[in-house]
Amino acid sequence: MSAALIEARGVTKILSGIVPVTLVRDVSLTIMPREFVAITGPSGSGKSSLLYLLGLLDLPTSGNVLIDGQSTTLMTEEERAEVRLTRLGFVFQFHFLLPEFTIMENVALPMRALGKLSARAVTVRAEEVLASFALGDHRHKTPDQLSGGQRQCVAVARALANDPPVILADEPTGSLDSISTTQVFGILRDLVMLHGKSVVAVTHDLNLASQMHRRMDIVDGRLVRDEQFIPAADAH
């Protein structure tokens, strides 16, 4: 059996304040390779908060998140940044591309931040990734010259730039029309089916969630349901 890519052990997140708010309560889960996971639940249930905890964008109040079996609790911010850069890819509801940079530059950004590839190799890799999303012709355009669906595709391409094993997506189709939604969802599914990535996506869309391999329901910060429709191993 493959090792878990992400593992949450009794993770709780409480926002301190005059009235403390519990966002996530004692959640334990594992994300295995090649899993296509939907996190669903009502608004304010803690879906995105859980995703941010799994993606090391936030620190749990208690519990532990392990990436590739390694505890992240005692990691410094620099070490967590390194894990985000190499092991995780993020896609948000809005594309969040840097507006002054071209599509090519946006996709190259994580690779340049990692600094392991030469400038030439970065360009080649960025062109490859963009071509795989049929965005090669748009590489010199800026985000405002693309449609909403195309921008989100670029955001997925950027998340894949450093070839991370896991993509964490927060409502990736939440701001898209139905055609773009189908397009982006297809890309995410291909990442799992064709490229062997794991995708964990927060979504409100139960129709999309039902097409994914595993569904977790979060209510009031608790993981109330974790249902595997298709085993990760069979999905490929």
Partner 1 sequence: MNLILTIAWTHVRHRARQTLVAIVGVMTGVGFSIMMAAMMEGSQEDFIRTLVDALPHISITDELREPTRQPADVIYAAAEFHGLSPEVRRPGIKNPMATIASLQTWVPGALTPSVQSKAVLRFAGRNLTVSIIGIDPRTEADVSNLATHLRQGTLASLYRASNAILIGDRLAGKIGARVNSNVTLASAEGASMSATVVGTFHSGFRATDETTGYVLLKTAQILERQTGIVNELRVRTRDPMEARLISERIGEQTGYKSISWQEAQEDLLSAITLRNVLMYTIVGAILLVASFGTYNIISTITHEKTRDIAIMKSLGFRDHTIRTIFVIEALLVGFAGAALGWVLGYLLTRGLAALEFKTPFSDYNHLPVLYSAKHYFLATGVALMSSLVAGYFPARAAARLHPIDIIRGAT
- Per CB under 8 A, residues contacting partner 1 are 48, 52, 55, 57-58, 77-78, 81-86, 90, 92-94, 96, 98-101, 105, 109-110, 112-115, 158, 170-171, 174
Q: DSSP class of residue 56?
A: T
Distance of closest approach, residue 64 Cβ to partner 1, in angstroms: 19
Distance of closest approach, residue 113 Cβ to partner 1, in angstroms: 5
Buried b (16+ CB within 10 A) or exposed e, 81-90: eebbbbbbbb
Buried b (16+ CB within 10 A) or exposed e, 18-45: eeeebbbbebebebbbbbbbbbbbeeeb
| E runs forming strands in 16-81 | 21-31, 36-40, 62-67, 70-71
Question: What distance in Å separates the CA atoms of residue 204 and residue 192, rounded to the nearest whole number?
Answer: 20
Closest to partner 1 by CB, 91 vs 192, is: 91
Closest to partner 1 by CB, 34 vs 87, is: 87
Distance of closest approach, residue 84 Cβ to partner 1, in angstroms: 4
Q: In what order do the strands lie in the sheet with 214-219?
A: 88-91, 166-170, 198-202, 36-40, 214-219, 222-228
Closest to partner 1 by CB, 34 vs 149, is: 149
Question: What distance in Å separates the CA atoms of residue 103 and residue 125, rounded to the nearest whole number?
Answer: 13
Closest to partner 1 by CB, 98 vs 206, is: 98
Question: What distance in Å separates the CA atoms of residue 29 and residue 154, rounded to the nearest whole number?
Answer: 29
Distance of closest approach, residue 104 Cβ to partner 1, in angstroms: 12
Distance of closest approach, residue 13 Cβ to partner 1, in angstroms: 10
Phi/psi class of residue 28: alpha, beta or left (left: φ > 0; alpha: ψ in -120 to 50)?
beta
Distance of closest approach, residue 98 Cβ to partner 1, in angstroms: 5
Distance of closest approach, residue 123 Cβ to partner 1, in angstroms: 13
**Residue type, position 162, single letter:** N
Closest to partner 1 by CB, 45 vs 214, is: 45
Closest to partner 1 by CB, 136 vs 174, is: 174
Closest to partner 1 by CB, 109 vs 235, is: 109
